[in-house]
Structure formats: structure tokens, C-alpha cells
Copies of this chain bind each other. A is one copy, B any other.
């Protein structure tokens, strides 16, 4: 006893979604078939168009179907400051939380030589070219404080120094609203070492 071929293929294909196992796939497929065929057809069209036509912005590597993304085309933004992030969602998080008005560079990954992910795989060669261009005066590192993030930060700081570009990194410490006793020891030691004068 099995589902019909088209339904079985849909169940298998749904497994490509992150976190979707056999039971969720069944729930999603039956929901769409019984209650939302229009939504399912729209999703099929949107998926096909996005998978085939979305590439990367040639300047900042943000996923987009355009050659240069909206953010990089916006000449009201400060062209001399470049914020380096790991993922597109970091760009949106920073845009929502801060009034940063410069440009971005999206690595789409983290430097991880042990996994065979070298500088060119995360666009660090392109970043080096942009820094060599002379227009950028400051690089802001907004990468995660993980092992790979640290390696990436170190690498970017080195190429920035070679090009005479100043380089800063966003602060890591106790989250605002967090209580000390619930903060992990790594964060606490980071925050303690990174203390600043206060009065």
C-alpha cells in the first residue's frame, strides 16, 4: 500500500526543505492537496522562477536576479564603508536594527580550510579586489564569533591592513537585557576582556 506516484514524488521532493521529515512532508502535501491548491501552484511557479533566475549581485554577492542589487545601486549610501557579513539574513537584520548607511559584502559562508572552504569559495578574492580599488576607507566586520568566523575575521583584517584600509569589528559581549548568571562563560570572558571606560 503506497501513495500514488505523483503524491509519492511530492512527498520525496518536500524532504529538501530544512527540518521536513516524512510526517511533516505528509502533512504539508495533504494540506496543499485538500485545502490550498492555488497556494501550491503559486509556490511551484515562485520556486521555479527563483531557482532558475536568482543569482548573486556582482558587487556584494547578495542573492538577486539583477546584475547589481538594489542596495548596491543606491548611490545615496556611503560608498567608502563596507560591512562584511556571512549571510543575506545578516544584511536584513542589520538594516532593521541599525542606521548603518554604507555598503555590504556577503561572504555566503565561512572560511573553513579543514572542510576545503578556502578564501575564493567565500568571495574573499573579490573582497580583496574591491579593497584594492581604493574607494573603501573602512571595513566593518559583522561575522559570527565562532571558530570559522574568527578565521574569516583574521583573514579580512590582514587584507585590509595590506591595502591600508581601517578595519573594525562589531562588539561581542553580554546581550542587552541578559542577566550575567545565565550568560555562557565564553561570552562573559569576551565581555570582561572587552570592557570600556565608563563614567
- Interface membership of chain A positions 18-46, coded 1 if the CB is closer than 8 angstroms to chain B and 0 otherwise: 10000000111111111011011111111
Q: Number of copies of this chain in the oligomer?
A: 2
Minimum C-beta distance from A109 to chain B (A) = 8
Name the B residues within 8 Å of A88 (CB-CB).
30
Q: Is the interface of A mostly helix, strand, loop or mixed?
A: helix
Minimum C-beta distance from A180 to chain B (A) = 28
Interface residues of A, CB < 8 Å — how many? 56
Known: A4-B64, A7-B64. A18 touches B31 (CB 8 A): yes
A161 at the interface (CB under 8 A from B): no
A47 at the interface (CB under 8 A from B): yes
Name the B residues within 8 Å of A53 (CB-CB).
6
A163 at the interface (CB under 8 A from B): no
- What 18 additional pairs, Cβ within 8 angstroms, besides A9-B49, A13-B43, A26-B92? A1-B91, A1-B95, A4-B64, A4-B65, A4-B69, A5-B65, A6-B50, A7-B54, A10-B46, A10-B47, A10-B49, A13-B39, A16-B32, A17-B28, A33-B50, A34-B108, A40-B47, A44-B47
